[in-house]
Structure 1
């Protein structure tokens, strides 16, 4: 009997037990549909009165910003360095624009104690001088479209090892230099302050700190015009500055060869009445008395001229030194843009700066004078960088564009807390400082940007 015959016999004998194939497929489809409907309409999970919310990835939830902590005594706020505040040491993304943004609340305390940092001169020790509100300490600059990494003392000291950074300019340059020393000191690396030469010491205008274990030096040189000048002396009957536009201030320029980074900051002194000299003769005057009979000259033009000549001379001298020593060690030259003041009235008549919070973005426009001074710095630095030849140049020029962020901080000045016992003038008013910055304060952000600048 063949195999085919056996199969046919089996199918006949079991015909009553098997369903036709078409009917079997039909019933299987009905069963699958029933199961699908059962899972669609019946929730197999147990009922709960508190189901977790479903977060859709394309919906951004708005969370309230952190609020500054309630009032604390200054020492309580500043004494303990936050263990969780480990500074980001990575550089910010290339092309990050720090010049525009807003101040956002930051509950973290500052890196250093404003009552104990020895680098701070009395006029900037706001907490030590009796300022009891602490809200101005708890703000962070947030650029638009990128992040500004927190200041890292360790990263800056690594870069500064065997190097020298010098701050050159007016009292705002000194303010920033003191801020940097305090920030670096927060790493438990204490600097030794060294005396400058006797002829240079002038009420703290020339100072130098050395972090010995890093062989790192921070200096400040007083040079409010960057070029050679003699400041006004009201008590001596000289109500105007004498500025020599074609001569350089050798008190700092002659030390250029020992410096690896120069941070320039000037502008405020150019608004004061001044006589301008060039080639041994008077070439103009700003806001001088009519009896002097000098041609009125825009202080914007004088400021641009001084900045331009200074940047050209720095590059020339560095190229000359590199040729002599047969080396092309890079030098960083950064210039801070104009930092606005916030006197609500005439500064010399006791005008205060009473605000306790930053302005919101767009709430306080930069004034015309401040905008012009900023524009001059940006244009001259850009031109200097172009002349230097780009990334491979021996001198790297950069602008610290701080005008907008400074303009939004009317709360960050000493105000009446520029001294412990405010002096009442003959008119019964207390003098306010609405130009310089409390320390800690907004000026520390200048050095956050400086760190990113030197890291390149």
Structure 2
């Protein structure tokens, strides 16, 4: 009897182990299906060779000229220097100690970098649509040049007080041990950027509407705003669709509503495989994505953004004819860089906005935001484990992030000028260098519970909530104030 009982116990234990193993693998598979679409591009990006980027004038003449800057250019050279000598190795990154320079000099140097970018991207320096901070108000203060400074009062909500945080952004829930990354605010060099006051914001938005257009980082931004406002008011879900990518919330006491429109490529798209999101998408680069272009005319403010999806395998179409691809196996199709589709997509998006006959609102372009993988690519152990921001002279963009940013600015300049002719206001919310300095704000491995014997990719693309992107709404409130005072 004892032997029989022992054998039976062993059998039950073995069964439980097998069942647990199956469950763990199923959970891991689900997480992989969720994460791969976000990070897939980084598998291939290192293989992409520098390619000529056409300037706006050259595009009109159908002539391409190279505007790519050397990574050793004195303006754009990063102070994060790879210690390895092999180009195909994953660089181990070290930070060069900041030079001890007087604060005002640092501000002038930073403005000089920005002016150099504008000069290369076709900036006219006339002050309209200025990258330095919008329309009315104190134009002499560039909101986007500054430093992250300590803020002991943060954060202004927690993962237990806000209902809008998705699991993969809930860093505190999943055991992130440090909280210093929550204790910073953005300080422009020559003025103050007030922290968002939820009551003042809701009063300012009384009777108005706000739309977010873009990908999961755009949704990340919207959720941050919902969390900040949750300190004083909760909205009603008045969505007409069950699709989580198209939602609408209403604050009835203020007659104010917020909507999200999912459009990671900004243009009309289709899948090559309906059942596999990791397979290439078809991008119809000259066609509007009517899921948002047909909806935004009614909104007072629209925040539009896009970025990381443009590194995925994609097929490019114009006039319904294939004109190229990114990371496709076909040798007969012209292989083009990420900036090719990024440029065309923004051109089409601005054309859609400027074609709206009755749009009286303001469009904010939220600029490209870099990821922060260090020590390897996303699928090769790359991670973002820093616990505090960089100083402004410790890190600047280079390589593909810089190219995407430059491309976006070039198309913004063209779209903004065309908008002025048609009475459409487009301005920029320049978060690129601001967030380049925040490698400490990503979920990393704290976007899910660890799984035994399963290695998951680290998330260095999205942002913890609460976290650094709460400051995006400080910028948003100040920019709206400036635009309205300018009117």
Tell me the TM-score normalised to structure 1 length: 0.72
The match for 1:217 among 253, 257, 279 is 257
- RMSD across aligned C-alpha pairs, in angstroms? 2.2
Mapped to 2, the partners of 1:237 and 1:409 lie a distance apart of 30
Deviations 1:166-194 (A, max 9, x none): 111111100001111111222x1111223
Mapped to 1, the partners of 2:256 and 2:227 lie a distance apart of 14
8 Å CA contact 1:92–1:147 kept in 2: the answer is: no
8 Å CA contact 2:354–2:418 kept in 1: the answer is: no
Is 1:125 paired with 2:153?
no
Structure index of larger Rg: 1
The match for 2:425 among 396, 399, 411 is 396
SS of residue in 1 equivalent to 2:379: helix
8 Å CA contact 1:115–1:125 kept in 2: the answer is: no
The match for 2:235 among 177, 191, 194 is 191
Mapped to 2, the partners of 1:394 and 1:156 lie a distance apart of 26
- Could you say which residue in structure 1 is the equivalent of 2:126? none
The match for 2:403 among 361, 372, 376 is 372
Mapped to 2, the partners of 1:145 and 1:181 lie a distance apart of 29
- Could you say which residue in structure 2 is the equivalent of 1:381? 412
SS of residue in 2 equivalent to 1:210: strand
- Of residues 237-246 and 108-117 in structure 1, the stretch that sits farther from structure 2 once superposed is 237-246
- Of residues 93-102 and 175-184 in structure 1, the stretch that sits farther from structure 2 once superposed is 93-102
8 Å CA contact 2:287–2:348 kept in 1: the answer is: no
Mapped to 1, the partners of 2:345 and 2:409 lie a distance apart of 14
Q: 1:174 to 1:238 in 2, by over 3 A?
A: closer
- Could you say which residue in structure 2 is the equivalent of 1:7? none
Mapped to 2, the partners of 1:232 and 1:354 lie a distance apart of 36
Structure of greater relative contact order (alpha carbons < 8 Å, 6+ residues apart)? 2
- Could you say which residue in structure 2 is the equivalent of 1:454? 480
8 Å CA contact 2:419–2:425 kept in 1: the answer is: yes
The match for 2:338 among 299, 302, 322 is 299
1:385 Cα offset (Å):
2.4
8 Å CA contact 2:154–2:184 kept in 1: the answer is: no
Deviations 1:249-277 (A, max 9, x none): 11111112222111111011111121101
SS of residue in 2 equivalent to 1:307: helix
Is 1:416 paired with 2:441?
no
- Could you say which residue in structure 2 is the equivalent of 1:23? none
Q: 1:431 to 1:134 in 2, by over 3 A?
A: same
Deviations 1:205-254 (A, max 9, x none): 22221111111111111100001113576964963121011211111111
1:113 Cα offset (Å):
2.1
SS of residue in 2 equivalent to 1:348: coil
The match for 1:335 among 362, 365, 372 is 365
Q: 1:236 to 1:137 in 2, by over 3 A?
A: closer
8 Å CA contact 2:373–2:383 kept in 1: the answer is: yes
Q: 1:238 to 1:151 in 2, by over 3 A?
A: closer
8 Å CA contact 1:232–1:238 kept in 2: the answer is: no
Is 1:312 paired with 2:374?
no
8 Å CA contact 2:246–2:261 kept in 1: the answer is: yes
- Could you say which residue in structure 2 is the equivalent of 1:157? 202
SS of residue in 1 equivalent to 2:173: coil
Unpaired stretches in structure 2, ≥5 consecutive residues: 1-101, 103-135
8 Å CA contact 2:148–2:186 kept in 1: the answer is: yes
Q: 1:92 to 1:189 in 2, by over 3 A?
A: farther
Mapped to 2, the partners of 1:217 and 1:114 lie a distance apart of 23
- Could you say which residue in structure 2 is the equivalent of 1:229? 269
8 Å CA contact 1:377–1:399 kept in 2: the answer is: no
SS of residue in 1 equivalent to 2:322: strand
- Could you say which residue in structure 2 is the equivalent of 1:141? 186
Mapped to 1, the partners of 2:415 and 2:201 lie a distance apart of 25
8 Å CA contact 1:350–1:429 kept in 2: the answer is: no
1:109 Cα offset (Å):
2.2
- Of residues 147-156 and 401-410 in structure 1, the stretch that sits farther from structure 2 once superposed is 147-156
1:414 Cα offset (Å):
0.8
Count of aligned positions: 347
Tell me the TM-score normalised to structure 2 length: 0.67
Mapped to 2, the partners of 1:422 and 1:386 lie a distance apart of 50
8 Å CA contact 1:115–1:127 kept in 2: the answer is: no
SS of residue in 2 equivalent to 1:131: coil
SS of residue in 2 equivalent to 1:119: coil
SS of residue in 1 equivalent to 2:358: helix
Q: 1:430 to 1:309 in 2, by over 3 A?
A: closer
8 Å CA contact 1:275–1:288 kept in 2: the answer is: yes
1:155 Cα offset (Å):
2.8
- Of residues 377-386 and 445-454 in structure 1, the stretch that sits farther from structure 2 once superposed is 377-386
- Could you say which residue in structure 1 is the equivalent of 2:460? 434
